[in-house]
Chains A and B, each alone.
Chain A
Amino acid sequence: MNLARRIYLIVSLALAGTVLVALVSWTSVRRLAEASRRLGEVNLSSVAVISRISDICASQSSLVNRAPAQTDVKAIEKAAQDYAAASQKLDAGLVELKKLDAQGTLSAKIKALETDLPAVREASGKVFTLAAQFQQVDASTLLQTQVNALEDRMTARLNELMSASLGEAQVQPRVIVQQAGRSNQWILGLCLAVLLGSTATSVVLVRRKVVRPVKQVANHLGETFQTTEISVQEIAQNSHSVAEGASEQAASLEETSASLEELAGMTRNISQNANTAKDLAKGTRSAAERGAEEMKAMTDAMQAIKTSSDNIAKIIKTIDEIAFQTNILALNAAVEAARAGEAGMGFAVVAEEVRNLAQRSAQAAKDTTTKIQDSVTTSLNGVQISGRVGKALEEIVSKARQVDELVAQIASASAEQTQGITQVNTAVSEMDKVTQSNAASAEESSSAAEEMRAQAGTLRRAVGELLTLVDGDCGNQSASAVGPAPAQERENQSVPATFPSRRAPAPAVQTAHASF
C-alpha cells in the first residue's frame, strides 16, 4: 500500500465519522428548520401583518383628525380618498392575517376588529363631509365623541391581537431551544466519539504507515542532496569561468573590430585615390590622342605648304623664262630699231626699256626662287620634325592607354578589397554577437546554478524540516547531517551571482559596424 492510499485510508475513516455526525446534525437541523419556519412564516408574519394594520389605522386616524382644521377643500377630498385607500389595504391585511391564522387562535379577535370597522369608517366619512363644508366645530365634535372613541377601541383590539400573536411567537422559540438543546447533546456526544476514535486510529496509522517510510525517504533525499549540491557548485564555478572567458573573447573581438574599421577606412581611401588616378589617366590618354591627331594635321599642312612652294617655284621659273625670252626679244627689237635708223630710234628706246624690265623681272624671279627654295627647305625640315613629334605622341598615347588600364585594374582590385573587408567586419560583428550571447548564456547558466544551489539549500532545509517533523528533536540531528555547514554555505554565496556584463559596450561596437 503506497503513501497516498494510506493517507486516503486515514482521511476516509475521518470522513466516515464526519458523515455520521453530519447525518445526525442534518436530521436535527431539519426539525429546527421546521420549527423556525413556523416561527418565521406564521407567527412573525402575523406580527408583521398586525403591525402593518396598526400603521394603517394610525395613518387613517391622522387623516381624519387633521381634516376639521383643513381650510382647503381639495386637501380634505384627498385625505378622504387616502382614507378609503387605506381601508382597502386594511381589509387586505385582515384577509392575509386570517390565512396565516390557520389554527384559528386569533379568529375571535380578528372578528371583533372587523365588527368595529364599519362604525369607525362611517363616522370618519361624516367627519370628512363636515370638514369639506368647513364645519370645523361640528366635525371636531363628531371626531372627539365618536371617531376617537372607536379608534381607541380598535387600537385596544389590535393590541390584544398583537399580544396574542406575540405570545404564540414566544412559545415557538422555546420549542426551538428545547429541540436545539437535544440536538446539541446528540451531536456533541457523537462528535466526541468520532474524534476520539479517529484520533487514536490516525495516530497508530500515521506512525506506522506514514512517519516511518517518510523518514526513510527523507534520509535518502538528504544523501542525494549532498551529491547534488556539490555538482551544482561545480556547475556554478564552470559557468563562472565560461562567462569570464566569453567576456575576454568579446573584448578581443571588440579590439579586432576597431582595427578592421581602421583598415577599412584606409582601403576606402586607396580605392578613392585609385579611382581618381584612373580618371586622370583616362584624361591624359584622351589629351595625348588629341595631340597626335593635331600633329598629323600639322604635318599634312606642312606638306601642303611644300607642294605650294614647289608650284610657286615652277611659276617663277616660267616667269624667269618669259623674262629671258622678253630680253631676247628686246635685243632683237633694239637690233631691228638700229637697223631702222632714226625711224627706229623711239622703238629702240622702248626696246631698251622692255629689256630693262625683262632683266629686272628675271632678277626678281631669281630672288623669289631663292626665297621659295629656302621656304621649301624649311617646310621640308618642319615636315620631318612634325613626323617625329607625331611618332613620339603616338608612343605617349600607347603608354597612357596602358597606364589607364593598369589604374582601372587597381581601382577594381581596391573596391573588391573594400568589399572583402566589409564582409570580414560583418563576420566579426556576428562573432561579437555570438560571443555576447555566449557570455549571456554563461551568465544565465551561472545564475541558474546559483538558483539551483539556493534551491538545494531550500531542499536541504525542507529535508531537515521533514526529518524534524517526522522525528521531533531527533530530526535536528539528522538534519544537520544532511547538508553542508552554514560556513560552507556562506562561502558558496561569496561567488558572485552575476558576472561583468558584456552587454554595456555592445552599442559602441554596433555603432562602429553601422558606419560601414
Chain B
Amino acid sequence: MKKHYCPIIVSWVIAIACALALTQKASGQMVRLHGSISTAKALESRKAALESASGAQIEIVGNGAGRGLQDVSSGQAEVALLSGPLKLVAEALNKEKSGSVDAAQLNEIPLSNSKLGFYSHPAAGVKSVTDAQLRDVLTGKITNWKDVGGADLPIKVVMGFGADGVRVTVQDVVCHGAEYAQGAIVRNSSKDLPMVVSQLPGACAVLVVSSAEGNIAKVATETELMMPVSLVVKGEPSGDVKKVIDAIKAVIK
C-alpha cells in the first residue's frame, strides 16, 4: 500500500520544488534592455554575470537604437541601449513619426564610445580616404571610386534606416548634417550592412568595427570615427533598473 503512495508523494515534492524555484526566480524584477544591435550583442554574452551582479532578471533585445528609444518611451522597455547621441537619434525618430520620443523625459547615462570604420567591397581598390573625400563619397559628390584613387566602379553607399545610431552619428560628425547620397542603399537593420557590402561590388558603409565581418575591406580615414554608447532610461533609475545599470557600467569598465 505504501509503495503505491510513493510516486504520488515524489510527484508532489517535485511539483512543490519547481513552484518554489519559479517563485524564487520571479522574485527579482524583469529589466528589459532594448536597442542597439551591437551593444545588445556585447551584453548578451555577459547576461548571466549581469543578472548575478544585479540580482534581477534581464531581457536583452537587439532591435536597433531607434526602436530601443521608442520602447523606453512607450514603457515597453526599462533601459534603451543607445548608439549615437540621444538628441540626434530622437530627432530622427520624431522626423519619421512626430512625437514618438520625448527626449526631455529621457535620462542618458554614458557608457563608452564605439569605434567606427569605413569599409568597402574589395573591388573598390581604395586603401584610404581623407575626411573630405569620405564626406563627398557619403553625400554623393564623388560617385566613382577612381576619383579617390580606386577602380573605375560606381560607388554605392549602404546605410541603416532612419534613426540608426551610426547613420545619425556619421551624418552629424562626418557629413556635418548634409544629406546622404541620392540612391543610397538603405537597410532596415544595420546588421545587414556588412553582408550587403560584401556582395555588392562598389558598395561601402560606415560600420561599428566590432561588427565588421565578411568579404569587406577597411578604408583608412584621416580622423578616427567614434560613436557614443549610452543607456537611456525614463527619469531617474531606481531599484533593480539602477542595479542593472551599475552592473553594466562595472562590466563595461
Contact = CB atoms under 8 A, between A and B. Distances in A.
Q: Is chain B a partner of chain A in the same complex?
A: yes
Interface of A: 69, 71-73, 133-137, 140
Interface string B177-221: 000000001111000100110011001000000000000000000
Contacts of A69: 188, 192
B185 A134 contact: yes
A135 B199 contact: no
Nearest to B192: A71
14 contacts: A71-B187, A72-B199, A134-B158, A134-B185, A134-B187, A134-B192, A134-B200, A136-B186, A136-B187, A136-B188, A136-B192, A137-B161, A137-B187, A137-B188
Given A71-B196, A72-B195, A135 B185 contact: yes
Nearest to A137: B186
Nearest to B203: A134
Nearest to A140: B188
A511 B199 CA distance: 101
A133 B202 CA distance: 12
Contacts of B161: 136-137
Contacts of B203: 134
A73 B199 contact: yes
Contacts, number: 33
Interface residues of B, number: 12
Nearest to A68: B188
Which are the 3 A-B pairs with shortest beta-carbon distances?
A71-B195, A137-B186, A134-B196
Interface string B85-112: 0000000000000000000000000000
A133 B203 CA distance: 11
Contacts of B158: 134
Contacts of A73: 199
B interface, by DSSP: helix, strand, loop or mixed? mixed
A318 B31 CA distance: 176
A334 B186 CA distance: 198
Contacts of B192: 69, 71, 134, 136
Contacts of B187: 71, 134, 136-137
A509 B97 CA distance: 119
A37 to B, nearest CB: 54
A135 B158 CA distance: 9
Interface of B: 158, 161, 185-188, 192, 195-196, 199-200, 203
A405 to B, nearest CB: 100
A73 B192 CA distance: 12
Given A134-B187, A136-B161, 12 more contacts: A71-B195, A71-B196, A73-B199, A133-B185, A134-B200, A135-B185, A135-B186, A136-B185, A136-B186, A136-B192, A137-B186, A140-B188
A73 B200 CA distance: 9
A142 to B, nearest CB: 14
A456 B161 CA distance: 104
A119 to B, nearest CB: 26
B187 to A, nearest CB: 5
A137 B188 CA distance: 7
A150 to B, nearest CB: 23
A73 B196 CA distance: 9
Contacts of B199: 71-73, 134
A108 to B, nearest CB: 41
Contacts of A140: 188
Contacts of A72: 195, 199
Contacts of A71: 187, 192, 195-196, 199
A373 B11 CA distance: 146
A133 B156 CA distance: 10
Nearest to B196: A134
A212 to B, nearest CB: 69
B201 to A, nearest CB: 11
A134 B156 CA distance: 11
Contacts of B185: 133-136
Contacts of B188: 69, 136-137, 140
Nearest to B195: A71
A135 B199 CA distance: 13
A421 B203 CA distance: 123
Contacts of A135: 185-186
Contacts of A137: 161, 186-188
B102 to A, nearest CB: 26
A72 B195 CA distance: 8
A72 B199 CA distance: 8
